[in-house]
Homo-oligomer: A and B are copies of this chain.
Amino acid sequence: MSIKEEVFQLAKITHEAAADSARISMSLKTSILNDVAAKIKSHKENLQKENLKDVQSAKSVGLSEAMIDRLTLSDKVIAQTVEGLQEIAAFPDPVGEITGMWVRPNGMRVGKMRIPLGVVGIIYESRPNVTADAAALCLKAGNAVILRGGSEAYNSNLAIVNIFKETLKESGVNPNVLNLMPTTDREAITHLLKLEDFIDLIIPRGGEELIRFVSQNSRIPVIKHYKGVCHLYVDEFADQEMAVKIALNAKAQRPGVCNSLETMLVHEAIASEFLPRVSAEFNKAGVELRGCQAGKAIVEWMVPATEEDWFAEYLDLILAVKIVKDMDEAITHIARYGSLHTEAIVTKDYAASQRFLREVNSSTVIVNASTRMSDGYVFGLGAEIGISTTKIHAYGPMGVKDLTTTKFIVLGDGQIRE
């Protein structure tokens, strides 16, 4: 069988299973997800053994430390995955929810009912814990799902998918509601993206190059984010101690992820006091600062920033720093160089906080907290299926409800059109 035919058959059986997936009762979904969580916990050693194969080959081909960090199923990552699954299991089931109902002058009642999307395809790289999150969220929303993880995590992904399939079978559910692409060949993705009759939505997660590739080759709707060039604006009326803590956390707590900080904008009125203070902490944390000219005049060890630095998603211990005249300049800078991911302000001023919330239209806008908080799990969505910087359908961290749609329902008693 050719790769094209193999992918076609996989998509076809998954599409056929979507009706089964939509019909799993609320209580059975909950118990399946709890069973999977329990099995991931009890099969931890086996999972880590499979994961070690992936980590070792990643090391042997010289993948970056950030990549290996994403790939590793550490005890902590597994514990978070289990907790995430249990949280999704305990979450209200979105399917069938009536999200509103109103009466029209002719007595007809019109409402909206939440239904699954159908088949969701997730194309991702590195992190094998995405496999569990994505599968659980899609199943909770009543969808069937096709997963295509990165080649570097194939053993880990397969081990996780097998736990799901085993549990589905034990629960009397068609295990084809969840399928892992049998090959990590990129050609296979190209074929998958043409099957708009079988797949309703594609969510790519990973590097910019992968996402552009998916986006340009897909006939299926794609929800994506290219990159996270997140900003922190330290306002004239900031609590500077809080601003230091937030800046440090946003940049250095885990620099390799998309919600880490890439550019800090500082109001000129506090720059001469705040910059020396925060830069001393960044220096201790091993963060390289790339500053504008005015900033370098205050903290001279900063590397001079170039135009490219304002666009950069470093994903590393590097931070661009710019002094701005006022909030107008901050908002304009964010609109010009930002990626619509996450922006934060630190301020004690009410009007400044409200204006920033209103006028910055990135997918997540934060007052007085770290950009690292921009995450489906932290926001209480259970686990996130991705972060959308496309405004259509979902914008920001996507949880289980974003994997459904609503249909209109009408309850009449003989109404006709005049």
Contacts and interface: CB of A to CB of B under 8 A. Distances in A.
Given A113-B357, A417-B378, A363 B407 contact: yes
A151 interface: no
A393 B390 CA distance: 11
A413 B347 CA distance: 10
A115 B407 CA distance: 23
Interface stretch (A126-134, A245-253, A294-302, A319-327): A245-253
Interface in A356-374: 357-358, 361-370, 372-374
A175 interface: no
Interface in A376-413: 378-380, 390-393, 395-397, 405-413
B379 A245 contact: no
A102 B40 CA distance: 30
Interface in A198-225: 200-201, 216, 219, 221, 223
A242 interface: yes
Given A361-B407, A368-B411, A407-B395, A379 B104 contact: yes
A330 to B, nearest CB: 16
A393 B392 contact: yes
A374 B221 contact: no
A351 interface: no
Given A407-B365, A410-B365, A104 B380 contact: yes
A362 B410 CA distance: 12
A362 B407 contact: yes
Contacts of A380: 102, 104, 110
Contacts of A406: 395-396
B108 A373 contact: yes
Nearest to A104: B380
Interface in A60-113: 96, 102, 104, 108, 110, 113
A416 interface: yes
Given A361-B407, A392-B201, A369 B416 contact: yes
A39 to B, nearest CB: 27
A363 B408 contact: yes
A315 to B, nearest CB: 16
Given A254-B417, A378-B417, A417-B370, A391 B200 contact: yes
B104 A410 contact: no
Given A221-B221, A246-B414, A369-B410, 12 more contacts: A108-B373, A118-B391, A239-B414, A361-B407, A365-B409, A368-B412, A368-B415, A369-B416, A370-B415, A372-B417, A378-B417, A395-B405
28 contacts: A22-B361, A102-B380, A108-B369, A108-B378, A110-B379, A117-B391, A245-B414, A250-B416, A253-B417, A254-B417, A353-B411, A364-B408, A366-B409, A367-B412, A368-B415, A369-B410, A370-B416, A372-B416, A372-B417, A373-B412, A373-B417, A378-B417, A379-B408, A391-B405, A392-B405, A395-B405, A396-B406, A397-B408
